[in-house]
Every structure is written in structure tokens, then in C-alpha cells.
Structure 1
Amino acid sequence: MTSANEITPERAERIMAVAHRLADAARTETLSLFRSPLLRPDNKSTTGFDPVTQADRASERAMRAILAAECPEDGILGEEYGGQSGQSGLTWVLDPIDGTRAFMAGAPSWGVLIGVSDARGPIYGIVDQPHLDERFEGGFGRAQLISRAGSVPLGARRGVALAQATLMSTYPEVGSPAEHAAFSRVASRARLVRYGLDCYAYALLAAGHVDLVIEAGLQPYDVVAPIAVIRAAGGVVTDWQGGPAHNGGTILAAGSAELHAEALALLKGD
């Protein structure tokens, strides 16, 4: 006998179908304003610069409308419109544009993040880059990149030590001073360090092009979808203490368990 909250194959197929509908709807809303003179950024912060655009809001509204019709029993957590409780045991975690600064600058490193979590954490995710027509999907036995060229399997790169690794992070100023010092211990030993790709860095890790992504100061909607995709591709994701990362804060994503352990020891100062 199955429990009410168990993910049966039929339920998994429905979740994936709905997730792709969300991604399609978000593509429509975001692409209509990407590199457009009609884009009008606002600042959500009173102490710094935390941009939001009408594209962010329209993208999340479009996804929430589909969920209201198709999955009214599920919870929702979105960056722009907050949390909504559900009864099914599942929560859709949405970032309508991860990388709004890149979006504003016309750089195609932003993405739409669609994750699904249960009580244990992420179980499925999509990282979608509409302008490049690249959709990275992971969970329920799937790990694939869907693009104009078709579908190819995702697979994190293995057999790479830190001295040969490519490390990515969105900002050079990672976290607090103590967190930045910890990050620097890892970065100083990596072969190549690059910055600025937002969620696209996690997608590249899942595809086997990047070996490490290390960040701090994150929210759940920043990480749930990337965690699901990277794990489905064979990678390892934790916080900087080796615990779950899906609630936000710090994140260490690696292509292999061995590389993860090497970077984690430096982050912890072991």
C-alpha cells in the first residue's frame, strides 16, 4: 500500500509535465523583455541594490497561475511573492529570474529555477536558460540537457583534484569576511576561478564543464532546483559544514565526492 504523499511513477510524470509547462510559461514572459528597452528595474532594498523587474514578477505570476490550476494542493515558495502552504507534502520552489543583474545587462547567464521539495529536501529541478534554449533537468531518473540540438545526458565531471579544478562563484566578495577567507582557501588552490554566471554555473557543473561552485548568502529559491539537477547528474551538494544546503545560506557543489571532501576540508579550516 502506498502513502498519500508517496511519489508514484504516475505522480512523478505529472510533476515533470507541470514543471515543463512552468518553464515554457516563464520563457514567454522573460524573453519578451530580455534586451528590451521596455525593461524597468526597481530596487527592493533600502540599503543597497537588489533589483527586480516586471519580467521577474510576470514570470512568477505565470508559473503560480499554472500551479493554482494544476496542483492546488501543493505548496509554493517563490522569490517575488513568498510562501503558500499546501497539503500534499510537496513544495514548488520558484526563482522566476535567477540573475536579475545579468538579465538587466543583457547577459545570458540568468535562468529560471523550478524545484520541487518534499519533507526531506529537493527531489526534482529544472534550470532553464530561455535565451540559449537550454533546459537542464534532474530528478525522478532523469538527468538531461534539452536544447535545439536535442537531448543529451548530464554527467558531472569526475577524477579531478582541486589543483586541476575549475571553480565558479557569482561574486568575488563571497559572504562575510570569515566566509570570504574560507572561500579564498579553496580558490587559491584551484586551477581556474571564474565569477558571474549565477545559476548557469550550477548547470555547467551538472553538464561536466565546471568542477566546483561555492557560494554564500543564498535563499532556498536560489538552490533547490540546482541541487536536484546536480545530484541527478552524479554530483555532490552540501553546505560548508557538510550538511543539507536546500534551506539556503552556504553551498558547496562538486562534481565528485573526492573533490567535495577536499574543498570541504579547506572551507572548514581542517
Structure 2
Amino acid sequence: MNDYARLLPLAQEAVDLARDLMRTLQPGALTFKGDRDMASELDYAIERAVREHLAAKAPEIGFLGEEYGSSGDTSALTWALDPVDGTVNFIHGSPLCAISLGLIHRTHSVLGVIDLPFLGTRYHAAQGHGAYANNRRIHASGVTDLKDAVVAIGDYAVGTGASRKNTERLAITEQLTQHVQRIRMHGSAAIDLAWLAHGRIDAFIMLNNKPWDTVAGVVIAREAGALVVDIDGTHHSVDAVATVGGNDLLLPPILALVRRALAGAAT
């Protein structure tokens, strides 16, 4: 088995570069990519800087970024970057935003670094080496009963098909309100997955899966002892349609709740 931890120092260097830009520069001009979907000038600047840095240091590894797409050989190993996860939070001055850099081997997450520049926390993991926050080992929550669980959910949808998608999301929210202790919407999938790993939330439900959002967080959560799966309970990969996480005892009732909600929304 490959020891992907050998690439952690390089990933950390790249995220250092991104963090410094994010902490010192303003968002700048906004580019609207669709209905209520935008990227800041800084999103693009960070992605260019990280892409160039990694291409110079490891040209054999492909790259996938949210803003500029794919480059290089993505058939085996591919970096996946969200330069500012939680752009809307960032441009509104909220500290709930992150830099997320992960590594994909074919279709699976094998390494991840997530930095929260305004909260002073960095998470990292490599397959088989555990998960860490500021270099201290972390573990996922041990909560096993829904009534004791804090569950984070992904953003409601915007753009094409938002009404149908939000019918499903609202149905899940309604089911959660009846069964869990609290619901949280942080506006950053990277933060949700990092906090799932850190035990700051007990479960996470997001009805989509974009690799730049999830690759880093999935391996961090798994290395902390959480399970992360697709909506049907199968192993999460870049091809998954959704992202659902929790510990081995909490995840089954969470999945059952989600499926019940989606079935109700479809009728």
C-alpha cells in the first residue's frame, strides 16, 4: 500500500501559501457563476498560487480545482482544491471558511489538509496515519443516540432545480427536528467534515458531492474513526451523489432518517 503521508509536507506547504493569502488579502471583485453562486477574486488567486506551487514540486500529480478545473494527469493521483470553502461566509466577514486540499487516488480520498485561517486550526490526515488538529490526534464523537446528536447539514440549493432539491433538504430538516438534539448549518463542507472528525458535531448530511469540497474532509473524518458514505450506504468516493457521515452506531439511524425523508418528499 502506498504511504501517502510522504506527500503531507508538500500539501502543508501549499496550504501555508493559501492561508497567508487568505489572511492578508481582501476578497476583491466577485464573479457570479450562477444564481446566488459566486467566487471572489481571492478564490482565483489562491487556486493559481497553489496550482503553480504543486505543479512545480510534483508535476506527475494531476490537479482539480473548483475555479479552473482539471490539469495534468488525473488518471492516478490528483490534488483537489477548494481555495475558499465558504466563499459567502468569507465575503461577509464570517470566520466559518476554510482552505481544503485533498489527494485522490483514482476515486478515493487518501490525504487531506483543511485550514481554518480565522479560527487558528489546521486539520490533516493521510490514509493509515490517523487524523490531527494542530498536530494533536483527534477522534470522532462517540454519541450513539439521535436524541443526543448535533447534526450538521449542507447548504440549501440555489440555481437550476433548487426548488425540487430544497423540497428534499427541507424534508430532511423536518425529520431531524423531531429526533436530534440540534441542527447546524455552517456553510462549509470542509468545516463540517473536519468537525465531524474532531467530535464537534456527531453527524453530517449533504445531498451533493463535489470533490474539491469533500476529498480532504472525508479522509480526515475516516482517520478519526467516523464512517463517510453515499446516500445508499456504500463507501464514499468522488463518484458518490451525497455525503453522509457519523460513527458506526449513529450512522444507520441517520441514513434511515434521510431515506424516509427523501421517500416522503418524492410522493
TM range (shorter): 0.7 to 0.9
The alpha carbon displacement at 1:224 in A equals: 0.8
TM-score w.r.t. the length of structure 1 is 0.86
Q: Does 1:122 align with 2:109?
A: yes
Q: Do 1:116 and 1:123's aligned partners in 2 also have CA atoms closer than 8 Å?
A: yes
Q: Which residue of 1 aligns with 2:259?
A: 268
**1:129 offset after TM fit, Å?**
0.7
Q: Do structure 1's residue 153 and structure 2's residue 137 form an aligned pair?
A: yes
Offset of residue 215 of structure 1: 1.2
Q: Deviations over 1:36-81 (max 9, x none)?
A: 4x62222111xx1111111101111111111111111111111011
Please give the secondary structure, in 1, of the residue aligned with 2:250: helix
Residue in 1 that maps onto 2:58: 71
Partners of 1:105 and 1:138 lie apart in 2 by: 30
Offset at 1:177?
1.8
For 1:57-206, list aligned pairs within 5 A: 57-86=44-73, 89-140=76-127, 141-146=129-134, 151-171=135-155, 175-198=165-188, 199-206=190-197
Contact kept in structure 2, 1:162 and 1:262, CA below 8 Å: yes
Q: Verify the 8 A CA contact 2:5 2:111 in the aligned structure 1.
A: no
Q: Do the aligned residues in 2 keep the contact of 1:125 with 1:138 (CA within 8 Å)? A: yes
Give the alignment partner of residue 219 of structure 2, picking from 215, 228, 237.
228
1:117-136 deviations in whole A, cap 9, x for unaligned? 11240011111111222101
Separation (CA, whole Å) in 2 of partners of 1:212 and 1:87: 31
Report how many aligned residue pairs link the two structures: 252
**Structure 2: which 5+ residue stretches go unaligned?**
none
- Give runs of ≥4 in structure 1 deviating > 3 Å: 172-176
- Check the 8 A contact 2:28/2:41 in 1, yes or no: yes
Root-mean-square deviation over aligned CA pairs: 2.1
Tell me, yes or no, if the aligned pair for 2:154 and 2:207 is still in contact at 8 Å: no
**Which blocks of at least 5 consecutive residues in structure 1 are unaligned?**
1-5
Higher relative contact order (CA 8 A, sep 6+): 2
Identical pairs, percent:
28
Q: Could you tell me which of 19, 25, 32 is aligned with 2:11?
A: 19
Find the aligned partners of 1:93 and 1:238 in 2 and give their Cα distance.
19
Report the structure, 1 or 2, having the larger helix content: 2
Shift in CA distance, 182/132, structure 1 to aligned 2, threshold 3 Å: closer
What is the distance in 1 between the residues matched to 2:121 and 2:81?
Answer: 18
